[in-house]
Amino acid sequence: MSIDYSQKIPNNVNLNDDRRLQRALENWQPNYLKWWDDLGPNGSTDYDVYLRTAVSVDPKGWAHFEHVKMPDYRWGIFLTPVEGERQINFGQHKGEAAWQEVPGEYRGELRRLIVTQGDTEPASVEQQRALGKTCPSLYDLRNLFQVNVEEGRHLWAMVYLLHAHFGRDGREEADEMLERHSGDPDKPRILQAFNEETPDWLSFFMFTFFTDRDGKYQLASLAESGFDPLARSCRFMLTEEAHHMFVGESGVGRVIKRACEIMRDNKTDDVRAYGGIELELLQKYLNFHFSVSVDLFGQELSTNAANFYNMGLKGRYQETKIDDNHSLHDDSYIVSEIKGDVIGTTEAPALTAINERLRDDYIADCQLGVNRWNKIIQKLGIDFELTIPHRAFHRGIGSFSSINATPDGKIISQAEWEARQDEWLPSNEDREYVLSLMAPVTEPGKMANWIAAPDRGINNQAPEFEYVRFN
């Protein structure tokens, strides 16, 4: 099914057939555009950016690339089409037909899930709004803007669900999406990782690797939902999300490559002397972004998560591929916990351990990406290995938030933590160093000195392609 771009709000949900809904969304649209103007990418109004736009929801060939003036990007509502008779695949309603309308008894829970997901989307745009001023290349600038416009579209996806299925309180929630702001002392975003700053490009690449990957796992478990419109929204969002994680993984990979090249070519360990970012510093950024992102999965044991599962609202990662009874009532799951002064494991009811299981899936996926980074280091003949810190390290949520732990999972005192945290997390001086490298490079084909060129261009464009035209 292709998307109708002749309408004010491009969509594949037959918005024309529902005039009330169409009017309500058309009323929200100018507020969204005003938000984009106020808190979207700084000063980008006149830029022509080589963006991809969804022209269909077919996984093969859904994207169209061309230069677009940023505010003219067509944000729309795209759901993966209904595939026959979908069923609810887990929880107490397993085997029943998937819901096309919100089940009354779960209205509050569903709304909360949609609002929590939706809130993260504009938050990351706000967090990243200043980065355009210090882009390491036009290629990177274009990728930043691509991520930003798609996060904006993800907000549209969630706002559509609120408007279409939750009546008046849905419309109010949609308005509040534009009233909370990242880091606002009075009206902050809902989840803490989305109130942190993204002050530099290294943070941006780490964010898109680690925090957008949290998004992937949240969307994937919502894509299993018994509420079919939510499942279908999230499926299409996942297609776009893959590129965000590519931006993160390849971005960090290029910083690694540059550091290793400096070491190899100059036979030195002093990467900073040559204006690069040393691997030890990358490790600290990795530690920071990993730890704030694992927090996003919530408490290890959670009755809310158990309820969402039981109700059929939010499943596990790749629910239908798991070989079990999909009700989890008598099952158990191994969870890490504090045992005296060490970290051990315990068996917990699988239902209440749903969050921890998703966190495990996420950590395994992060590890694969880190392995690929280590391959780059190896290939360049450097003896260094990046590692993922222990899940107990630097936590703000869950049982480990009550203790201090080293990156390899040893519990330490508050005094030792304070004395040593600069070994493990970026110090002020480290952050200032990274910031000092952030000078814009906007000549086509040129790269900042601290990052290697990408292996290939977007949509196979040549290295000197003008991804962004400033007017």
From residue 153 to residue 192, the character string flagging contacts with Fe ion as x (rule: CB under 5 A) and all else as - is -x--------------------------------------
Q: Least distance to Fe ion from the beta carbon of 288, Å?
A: 19
Cβ 212 to Fe ion, closest distance in Å?
4
* CB of 147 vs Fe ion, minimal distance in Å: 6
Q: Residue 439 Cβ, how far from Fe ion at the closest point, in Å?
A: 26
212 binds Fe ion (CB under 5 A): yes
Least Cβ distance, residue 121 to Fe ion (angstroms): 5
- State yes or no: residue 235 binds Fe ion (CB under 5 A): no
- The span of 211-219, 311-319, 346-354, 448-456 binding Fe ion (CB under 5 A) equals 211-219
* Residue 161 to residue 174: CA distance in whole angstroms: 9
Tell me which stretch binds Fe ion (CB under 5 A): 30-38, 238-246, 288-296, 352-360.
Answer: 238-246
270 within 8 A of 290, measured Cβ to Cβ:
no
Q: How far, in Å, CA of 40 to CA of 31, rounded? A: 13
Residues in the interface with Fe ion (CB under 5 A) total 7
Q: For Fe ion, which stretch binds (CB under 5 A), given 84-92, 168-176, 213-221, 340-348? A: 213-221
- Cα–Cα distance, 445 to 144 (Å, whole number): 17
Cβ neighbours for 371, distance < 8 A, ≥ 6 positions apart = none
Q: Which amino acid is at 192?
A: Q
* Least separation in angstroms between CB 343 and Fe ion: 31
| Cβ at position 224, least distance to Fe ion in Å | 17
Task: State in angstroms the smallest separation of the CB of 335 from Fe ion.
Answer: 28
Over the window 410 to 449, marking each residue x when it contacts Fe ion by CB under 5 A and - when it does not, the resulting string is: ----------------------------------------
Q: Should residue 258 be labelled a site residue for Fe ion when binding is judged by CB under 5 A?
A: no
213 binds Fe ion (CB under 5 A): no
Min dist CB 243 to Fe ion, Å, is 8
Stretch that binds Fe ion, among 114-122, 253-261, 294-302, 371-379 (CB under 5 A): 114-122
Neighbouring C-beta atoms of residue 232, cutoff 10 Å = 24
- Sign of the alpha-carbon dihedral angle for 91, 92, 97, 99: negative
Q: Which is nearer to Fe ion, 118 or 407 (CB)?
A: 118
Instruction: Considering the complex, state which of residue 244 and residue 257 has its C-beta at the smaller distance from Fe ion.
Output: 244
d(CA 62, CA 242): 14
Q: In angstroms, rounded to a whole number, what is the distance separating the alpha carbons of residues 12 and 106? A: 26
Window 135 to 154, contacts with Fe ion (CB under 5 A): 151, 154
- Segment contacting Fe ion (CB under 5 A): 92-100, 120-128, 283-291, 441-449? 120-128
Q: Which is nearer to Fe ion, 213 or 390 (CB)?
A: 213
Among 180, 244, 314, 326, binds Fe ion (CB under 5 A): 244
Window 284-303: residues binding Fe ion (CB under 5 A): none
In angstroms, give the least distance from the CB of 244 to Fe ion: 4
Judged by CB under 5 A, the stretch of 102-110, 226-234, 237-245, 421-429 that binds Fe ion is 237-245
Contacts with Fe ion by CB under 5 A lie at 121, 151, 154, 212, 215, 241, 244
